[in-house]
C-alpha cells in the first residue's frame, strides 16, 4: 500500500535533506484535510493526499515514520489576491497547477513560467526497517 505525502517547498528550503526514489526517510507525518490542498494541486489530486511531512513544531507527539520514497512530483501554481479580498494576501489560484515528475527533491525547483514552486507530492510506502547498512534520512 502506498501513501501520498505533501512536503512543503519552504520546509525543504529551510532545513530539508535531499531525497530521491528508493531512499528510506524518517519523517513525522501528520494527517491532513485534503481540502487544504485543493487549490494548490486540484481537488482530484488533493483527495489522494494522506499526510503532510512536518518538522517545525506542529509535530510534537508524533513519532517518526520510516517510509521508502517511490516517486516525487514537483507542484507549481500561480498565487494571487482573490477578487474582493481586503487583506491583500496571496493564495493559490485554482486551476493553475503544473505537476512535474522529478528524480530528486532538494527544495530548489527549476523556475517555470507564470507559476511558483509550492512543494512536492511524494508517493511512498511504509518501511518496516532500514535496508542493511543504511541510515535513514530525516529531519
Interval 91-119: pLDDT, tens? 999 999 999 999 999 999 999 999 999 99
| Integer Cα distance of 79 and 91 in angstroms | 5
- For 14-78, the three-class secondary structure string (H helix, E strand, C coil) is HHCCCECCCCEEEECEEECCHHHHHHHHCHHHHCCCCEEECCCCCCCCCCCEEEEEEEEEEEEEC
Give the per-residue pLDDT at 47. 96
Residue 14 has φ and ψ, to the nearest 5°, of -70, -55
Q: pLDDT tens digits for 55-71?
A: 776 556 678 899 999 99
Q: pLDDT band at residue 14, thresholds of 50, 70 and 90? A: confident
Q: pLDDT at position 84, please?
A: 87
> Which pLDDT score, from 0 to 100, does residue 73 have?
98
Q: Mind listing the pLDDT tens digit for each residue in 29-57? A: 999 999 999 999 999 999 999 999 987 76
pTM here is: 0.88
Whole-Å CA distances, 80 to 63, 93, 120, 123: 36, 6, 20, 28
| Residues 117 and 78 sit within 8 Å (Cβ to Cβ) | no
Amino acid at each position: 500500500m502506498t501513501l501520498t505525502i505533501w512536503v512543503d517547498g519552504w520546509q525543504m528550503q529551510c532545513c530539508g535533506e535531499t531525497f530521491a526514489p528508493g531512499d528510506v526517510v524518517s519523517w513525522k507525518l501528520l494527517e491532513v484535510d485534503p481540502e487544504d490542498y485543493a487549490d494548490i494541486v486540484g481537488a482530484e489530486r488533493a483527495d489522494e493526499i494522506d499526510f503532510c511531512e512536518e518538522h517545525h513544531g506542529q509535530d510534537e507527539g508524533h513519532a517518526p515514520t520510516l517510509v521508502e520514497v517511490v516517486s516525487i512530483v514537483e507542484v507549481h501554481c500561480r498565487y494571487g489576491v482573490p477578487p474582493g479580498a481586503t487583506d491583500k494576501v496571496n493564495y493559490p489560484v485554482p486551476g493553475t497547477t503544473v505537476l512535474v515528475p522529478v528524480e530528486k527533491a532538494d527544495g530548489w525547483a527549476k523556475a517555470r513560467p507564470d507559476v511558483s514552486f509550492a512543494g512536492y507530492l511524494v508517493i511512498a510506502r511504509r518501511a518496516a526497517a532500514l535496508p542493511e547498512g543504511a541510515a535513514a534520512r530525516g529531519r
